[in-house]
Protein backbone atom coordinates (compact mmCIF):
# COMPACT_ATOMS: atom_id res chain seq x y z
CA UNK A 1 0.00 0.00 0.00
CA UNK A 2 2.69 2.51 0.95
CA UNK A 3 4.60 2.06 -2.30
CA UNK A 4 1.70 2.17 -4.74
CA UNK A 5 2.30 4.64 -7.58
CA UNK A 6 -0.91 6.59 -6.90
CA UNK A 7 -0.12 6.85 -3.18
CA UNK A 8 3.42 8.01 -3.94
CA UNK A 9 2.07 10.60 -6.40
CA UNK A 10 -0.20 11.98 -3.68
CA UNK A 11 2.78 12.19 -1.30
CA UNK A 12 4.80 14.03 -3.98
CA UNK A 13 1.93 16.48 -4.51
CA UNK A 14 1.74 17.18 -0.76
CA UNK A 15 5.49 17.67 -0.57
CA UNK A 16 5.39 20.03 -3.55
CA UNK A 17 2.55 21.99 -1.93
CA UNK A 18 4.58 22.33 1.28
CA UNK A 19 7.12 24.30 -0.75
CA UNK A 20 4.49 27.03 -1.20
CA UNK A 21 3.76 27.39 2.53
CA UNK A 22 3.77 30.90 3.94
CA UNK A 23 4.89 30.20 7.51
CA UNK A 24 7.05 33.16 8.63
CA UNK A 25 5.70 33.11 12.20
CA UNK A 26 5.57 29.43 13.13
CA UNK A 27 8.37 28.37 10.76
CA UNK A 28 6.35 25.13 10.39
CA UNK A 29 5.57 24.50 6.69
CA UNK A 30 2.86 21.94 5.99
CA UNK A 31 1.53 20.56 2.71
CA UNK A 32 -1.58 18.55 1.90
CA UNK A 33 -2.86 16.86 -1.23
CA UNK A 34 -6.34 15.49 -1.81
CA UNK A 35 -7.46 12.99 -4.42
CA UNK A 36 -11.13 13.73 -5.00
CA UNK A 37 -13.94 11.72 -6.54
CA UNK A 38 -13.14 13.24 -9.93
CA UNK A 39 -9.67 11.64 -9.80
CA UNK A 40 -7.91 15.00 -9.71
CA UNK A 41 -5.37 16.00 -7.07
CA UNK A 42 -5.88 19.26 -5.22
CA UNK A 43 -3.05 20.77 -3.18
CA UNK A 44 -2.75 23.18 -0.29
CA UNK A 45 -0.17 24.64 2.06
CA UNK A 46 -0.48 26.50 5.32
CA UNK A 47 -0.74 30.26 4.88
CA UNK A 48 -0.10 32.24 8.04
CA UNK A 49 -1.19 35.74 8.88
CA UNK A 50 0.36 38.29 11.22
CA UNK A 51 -2.85 38.05 13.25
CA UNK A 52 -1.78 34.55 14.34
CA UNK A 53 -3.60 32.12 14.41
CA UNK A 54 -5.91 33.63 11.80
CA UNK A 55 -4.20 31.86 8.90
CA UNK A 56 -5.13 28.69 7.05
CA UNK A 57 -3.83 25.20 7.60
CA UNK A 58 -2.76 23.16 4.58
CA UNK A 59 -5.75 20.81 4.70
CA UNK A 60 -8.52 23.45 4.40
CA UNK A 61 -6.48 25.22 1.73
CA UNK A 62 -6.51 21.96 -0.27
CA UNK A 63 -10.22 21.49 0.47
CA UNK A 64 -10.89 25.00 -0.85
CA UNK A 65 -9.01 24.20 -4.06
CA UNK A 66 -11.04 21.00 -4.39
CA UNK A 67 -14.38 22.75 -3.91
CA UNK A 68 -13.41 25.55 -6.31
CA UNK A 69 -12.38 22.85 -8.80
CA UNK A 70 -15.92 21.44 -8.66
CA UNK A 71 -15.28 18.32 -6.56
CA UNK A 72 -17.00 17.56 -3.27
CA UNK A 73 -15.73 14.19 -2.01
CA UNK A 74 -12.27 13.44 -0.58
CA UNK A 75 -11.22 9.91 -1.50
CA UNK A 76 -7.75 10.14 0.08
CA UNK A 77 -5.51 12.82 1.56
CA UNK A 78 -1.77 13.04 2.27
CA UNK A 79 -0.25 15.40 4.84
CA UNK A 80 3.41 16.28 5.34
CA UNK A 81 5.19 18.73 7.63
CA UNK A 82 8.79 19.80 7.20
CA UNK A 83 9.68 19.63 10.89
CA UNK A 84 7.49 16.80 12.22
CA UNK A 85 7.33 13.34 10.70
CA UNK A 86 3.85 11.81 10.54
CA UNK A 87 2.21 15.12 11.44
CA UNK A 88 -1.53 14.48 11.70
CA UNK A 89 -4.14 17.12 10.89
CA UNK A 90 -5.06 19.32 13.86
CA UNK A 91 -8.47 18.90 15.49
CA UNK A 92 -10.16 21.64 13.49
CA UNK A 93 -8.78 20.27 10.25
CA UNK A 94 -9.97 16.78 11.12
CA UNK A 95 -13.54 18.06 11.30
CA UNK A 96 -13.10 20.06 8.08
CA UNK A 97 -11.82 16.94 6.30
CA UNK A 98 -14.70 14.88 7.75
CA UNK A 99 -17.18 17.27 6.12
CA UNK A 100 -16.00 16.08 2.70
CA UNK A 101 -14.88 12.53 3.52
CA UNK A 102 -16.37 9.21 4.47
CA UNK A 103 -15.43 7.10 7.50
CA UNK A 104 -13.19 4.93 5.29
CA UNK A 105 -11.40 7.80 3.51
CA UNK A 106 -7.66 7.11 3.70
CA UNK A 107 -5.41 9.63 5.45
CA UNK A 108 -1.69 9.28 4.66
CA UNK A 109 0.80 10.62 7.20
CA UNK A 110 4.18 11.26 5.59
CA UNK A 111 7.79 11.97 6.38
CA UNK A 112 10.42 13.28 3.96
CA UNK A 113 10.69 9.88 2.24
CA UNK A 114 7.02 9.11 1.67
CA UNK A 115 3.86 7.71 3.23
CA UNK A 116 4.67 6.04 6.54
CA UNK A 117 1.26 5.60 8.18
CA UNK A 118 -2.21 5.02 6.74
CA UNK A 119 -5.33 5.73 8.76
CA UNK A 120 -9.00 5.99 7.99
CA UNK A 121 -10.97 9.11 8.73
CA UNK A 122 -12.89 7.13 11.36
CA UNK A 123 -9.62 6.25 13.12
CA UNK A 124 -8.43 9.85 12.93
CA UNK A 125 -11.71 11.36 14.16
CA UNK A 126 -13.97 8.64 15.55
CA UNK A 127 -16.71 10.92 16.88
CA UNK A 128 -16.94 13.63 14.23
CA UNK A 129 -20.05 15.76 13.91
CA UNK A 130 -22.33 14.16 11.34
CA UNK A 131 -25.49 15.34 9.69
CA UNK A 132 -27.89 14.07 7.06
CA UNK A 133 -27.75 16.37 4.03
> Exposed (0-12), middle (13-18) or buried (19+): which is 133, by Cβ within 10 Å?
exposed
Cα distances (angstroms) measured from residue 4 to each of 17, 72, 79, 88, 97:
20, 24, 16, 21, 23
Q: Check if 76 is active-site.
A: no
Catalytically annotated residue among 4, 16, 37, 59: 59
Q: How many helices (H) and strands (E) does the chain have?
A: 4, 5
Q: Using alpha carbons only, what angle is made at residue 127 by residues 64 and 99, rounded to the nearest 5 degrees?
A: 20
Catalogue the active-site residues: 59
Amino acid sequence: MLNEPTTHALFEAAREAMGFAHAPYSKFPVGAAIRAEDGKVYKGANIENLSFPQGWCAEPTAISAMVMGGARQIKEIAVIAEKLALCPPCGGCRQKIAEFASADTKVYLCDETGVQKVMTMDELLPFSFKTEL
